[in-house]
Amino acid sequence: MEEYLELWFAFFACIILTAFYILYALIVIPSGGHPFGHFIGIIGFALMLATETIYTLRKRIRWLNWLGPLRLWLSFHIFTGIVGPFLVFLHSAFLVGGLAGFAMLMTGAVVLSGFAGRYIYTAVPRTRAGVELSRDELAARANALQRELDAWAAQKPGLLDTIQSRVAATPLNPNDWLGLFARAWTDRAYNQRVHAALRGLEKSERARFGELEKLLRRHHQLERQIASLTLVHRLMGVWRLVHVPLGATLFTAAFIHVFAALWFKGLRW
């Protein structure tokens, strides 16, 4: 749950904003040119500007470290990167064409690519500060878990072999990018198989097997993370080539749209 906190916050913020928008639509006919339409457009655009700039500044300027963990600022980036575009979308009153429509389309593409990037980004564990764990650190954690598993194996000879033969995990392929995207599903399927395999063993030991189950799950997850480390770096590199230029294109179009709106129509409050 903690892992998805910013997504939940953004989701609830969008629900609340939708409720307000429905109230507004009951009072007047929504329009981007209406004062309230302008207002939500400006707030949404400000949030999008914050999305574009604040995380990058925090990430790239060392002396801004005092502002707190990078991961927190990425969460802020994601929150404003969802709520800002949502407000701009409401501001458009769903009637978009021309340059504003193009900017909206780009916004949708940036947000969608953001979700894909977040999914790749979270494929490797990081510290609370957002620093990615190195291969050695991951290997040290996996070894520590392996030692605990060995202790289990010493207590109950044959137990781990029986479980492993029942679980039958597919070998991890470091270049399997489809597997990386399917990891939520494959991890879940593996966990279910471990659970089923342990349930099929001695009933009297079930409470203790809960601990073993967690060990096996965590060990498998770490092995998957170690195997996919290089692939994650490669994919993030390619992904940045899409996400960042899309953001730049969107702001170019949006600035022209705002400038044209001010120049030709003026802001009628």
Q: Name the residues that contact ligand HEM, by CB under 6 A.
A: 48, 51-52, 55-56, 59, 74, 77-78, 81-82, 84-85, 107, 110-111, 114-115, 117-118, 121, 243-244, 247
Length of the chain: 269
Query: How far apart are alpha carbons 16 and 52 in whole angstroms?
Result: 24
The distance of closest approach from Cβ of residue 164 to ligand HEM in the complex, given in angstroms and rounded to an integer, is 35
Nearer to ligand HEM, 110 or 231 (CB): 110
Report the Cα–Cα distance between both ends of the chain, in Å, rounded.
Answer: 43
The distance of closest approach from Cβ of residue 130 to ligand HEM in the complex, given in angstroms and rounded to an integer, is 8
DSSP secondary structure of 102-168: HHHHHHHHHHHHHHHHHHHHTTS-B-TTSPBPPHHHHHHHHHHHHHHHHHHHHHSTTHHHHHHHHH-
The distance of closest approach from Cβ of residue 81 to ligand HEM in the complex, given in angstroms and rounded to an integer, is 3
What type of residue is 56? Answer: T
The distance of closest approach from Cβ of residue 230 to ligand HEM in the complex, given in angstroms and rounded to an integer, is 16
What type of residue is 114? Answer: G
Q: Which residue number has the CB closest to ligand HEM?
A: 114
Nearer to ligand HEM, 60 or 268 (CB): 60
Bridge partner residues of 126 (DSSP): 132
Nearer to ligand HEM, 51 or 228 (CB): 51
Nearer to ligand HEM, 37 or 117 (CB): 117
The distance of closest approach from Cβ of residue 140 to ligand HEM in the complex, given in angstroms and rounded to an integer, is 24
Rounded to whole angstroms, what are the CA distances from 263 to 43, 135, 167, 255?
A: 20, 55, 66, 12
Bridge partner residues of 132 (DSSP): 126
Nearer to ligand HEM, 216 or 250 (CB): 250
The distance of closest approach from Cβ of residue 84 to ligand HEM in the complex, given in angstroms and rounded to an integer, is 6
Query: How far apart are alpha carbons 83 and 80 in whole angstroms?
Result: 5
What type of residue is 236? Answer: M
Query: How far apart are alpha carbons 65 and 127 in whole angstroms?
Result: 15
Nearer to ligand HEM, 52 or 176 (CB): 52
The distance of closest approach from Cβ of residue 40 to ligand HEM in the complex, given in angstroms and rounded to an integer, is 15
The alpha carbon dihedral of 184, 187, 192, 195 has a sign of: negative
Nearer to ligand HEM, 32 or 114 (CB): 114
